[in-house]
Amino acid sequence: MGIGRARRDRDTPWLHGAEHAVTRISRRQFVSLAPTVMGGTSLLSACAPSADTKGSAAIAAGIGRPDPGPGADNETLSWELVRNATLAPSSHNTQCWRFQLEPHAITLLPDLARRCPAVDPDDHHLFVSLGCATENLAHAALAHGLRAEATFDAAHGAIRVALAPTRAESSDLFRALPTRQCTRGDYDARPLSTDDLGLLERAGTSGGVHMLLYTERPTIERVLDFVVQANTAQMADPAFISELKTWIRFNGAEAAHTRDGLYTAASGSPNIPTWFGELAFSLFFTAKGENDRYAHQIRSSAGVAVFIGQAADKAHWIEVGRCYERFALQATALGIRNALVNQPIEVTAVRPQFATAFGLSGQRPDLVVRFGRGPRLPSSLRRPVQAVVV
Ligand SMILES: Cc1cc2nc3c(=O)[nH]c(=O)nc-3n(C[C@H](O)[C@H](O)[C@H](O)COP(=O)(O)O)c2cc1C
């Protein structure tokens, strides 16, 4: 817990005064357990300090504010492009990126202080997250009359995005940037149209990345079996649990303080005081409850997508991130939700079995995503641009 706390203090220079609430349970544990074990949403809501939600809601509203438009001066425009890039998903919402600005380029750098060595020992998720941010940047640049050309410098792990003038184009995918989210709730289990599936497949595929789309129930059940197997392993792993704990934000006050991490309201759970969450989990948490929740969520989905890069290296992980983000933005534009269920590719002992079961022997599946239609949940937060520009 000491490490997590030190990191938060160091990385939140725009904040002062408020005392940290320290968490002692995992996001996955919390999300699954809260409504069922602790008497349902109403009881938990009654415990929520009302001031909690105001800070985080105001920040979330600011994150989606309108762009300044192509008439903005160069620096303002660069900051606006960075703001759009930071709306991308990142593993545990670590926002593991920094941005270096030049007159005609923006370079994305990994923020190694935000690594997650337990769940992501080889920085796979970190570079996928950078790929997601790169994709956002490209859509925002085009909307502002700039063509983005990304090149990867493997020696520094840096993605340099050169920006050249072109005709401005505000695409559906660009307009989806502020409302895209990883929606961890239940969906309506109804199938998607062939047209919608075709659009998702096209968005999520590139020269170096292919995607498998599963909509048949028996295949979705096989994916679920692997999620349960791998999730059970993760929850028995003290290093995984301990790392995850440092990224949990139990209530709006905590979320507003760090503006990163896994805000429980964004997973459909109410705001609760930290001490209450700690107590409930130490008393009632079971692996079965967690796996049952995943079973319900996956069975409520219209399908599952698996993303596979042609090679297992950083350049391809970035490309996987770009493809997944295009898929997520296309889904958002169509009113379709998605959420990552990556447990089978995170647990190294399970990953090869998962690959073999889905005809991918010898390859590394990169992401597992469920999708379908369902209600939006509250947005997770982002740090301000000044915290990520170097
Ligand atoms: C590489 C990567 C891996 C992720 N893995 C998971 C996962 O296994 N389970 C999950 O619930 N969310 C996962 N997420 C989603 C993040 O937690 C989410 O993007 C982050 O909390 C920010 O929320 P937002 O995407 O709704 O803005 C992952 C995201 C990325 C980019």
pLDDT band of residue 280 (cuts 50, 70, 90) is low
**Local structure of 57: helix, strand or coil:** helix
Q: What is the mean pLDDT of residues 139-146?
A: 98
Q: Does residue 132 have its Cβ closer than 6 Å to ligand 1?
A: yes
**Ligand 1 probe mutation, 182, 316, 364, 380, most atoms within 8 A of CB:** 182
Res 155 pLDDT > 60: yes
The whole-number pLDDT of residue 57 equals 78
CA of 249 to the centre of ligand 1 (A): 14
Which of 194-198, 267-271, 372-376 is predicted least confidently?
267-271
Q: In what order do the strands lie in the sheet containing 105-110?
A: 97-102, 105-110, 158-165, 146-153
Question: Does residue 181 line the site of ligand 1, with CB under 6 A?
Answer: yes
How many CB atoms within 10 Å of residue 165? 10
Q: What is the CA radius of gyration of the chain?
A: 20
Question: Model confidence over 299-346: pLDDT tens digits?
Answer: 999 999 999 999 999 999 999 999 999 999 999 999 999 999 999 999
* 64-74 residue pLDDT tens: 665 454 455 77
Structure-block tokens of residue 159: 């993605």
CB atoms within 10 A of CB 96: 25
pTM of the model: 0.88
CA of 18 to the centre of ligand 1 (A): 27
What residue owns the CA closest to ligand 1's atom 29?
91
Backbone angles phi, psi at 262, to 5 degrees: -95, 100
**Has residue 99 got a pLDDT over 70?**
yes
* Ligand 1, atom 16: closest residue by C-alpha: 91
Place of tokens 């898929």: 327
CA-nearest of 15, 135, 141, 54 to 87 is 135
**Are 2-49+181-372 and 62-180+380-387 the same fold in CATH?**
yes
Q: Which residue of 342, 350, 371, 381 sits with most ligand 1 atoms within 8 Å of its CB, as the best mutation to test the pocket?
A: 342
Q: Which CATH class is domain 62-180+380-387?
A: alpha beta
Give yes or no for residue 19 having a pLDDT over 60. no
Residue nearest to atom 2 of ligand 1 (CA): 91
Higher pLDDT, 289 or 387: 387
| CATH number 3.40.109.10 given to 2-49+181-372 | yes
Mean pLDDT for the stretch of residues 43-69: 53
Q: Is pLDDT above 50 for 17?
A: no
pLDDT band, residue 22 (cuts 50/70/90):
very low
Res 42 pLDDT > 50? no
If phi over 0 gives left and psi between -120 and 50 gives alpha, with beta otherwise, what is residue 40?
A: left
In the chain, % of residues over pLDDT 90:
71
Q: What percent of the chain has pLDDT over 70?
A: 81
Residue extents of the structural domains in the chain: 2-49+181-372, 62-180+380-387
**Phi/psi at 25 (5° precision):** -135, 165
Q: Return the ligand 1 atom nearest residue 263 CA.
A: 21
CA of residue 1 relative to chain centroid, distance: 23
Mean pLDDT of 379-385: 96
CB 379 within 8 A of CB 63: yes
Return d(Cα 176, Cα 80) in angstroms, integer: 16
- Which of 4-13, 119-128, 232-241, 269-278 has the largest mean confidence? 119-128
Contact 186, 296 (CB under 8 A): yes
Q: Is 93 in the pocket of ligand 1 (CB under 6 A)?
A: yes
* The pair of three-digit structure tokens given for residue 68, joined into one six-digit string: 């300044």
Reduce the DSSP state of residue 306 to 3 states and report it: strand
Of the two residues 41 and 260, the one the predictor is more confident about is 260
Mean pLDDT of the chain: 85
Burial class (CB in 10 A: 0-12, 13-18, 19+), 42: exposed
334/193 Cα distance (integer angstroms):
11
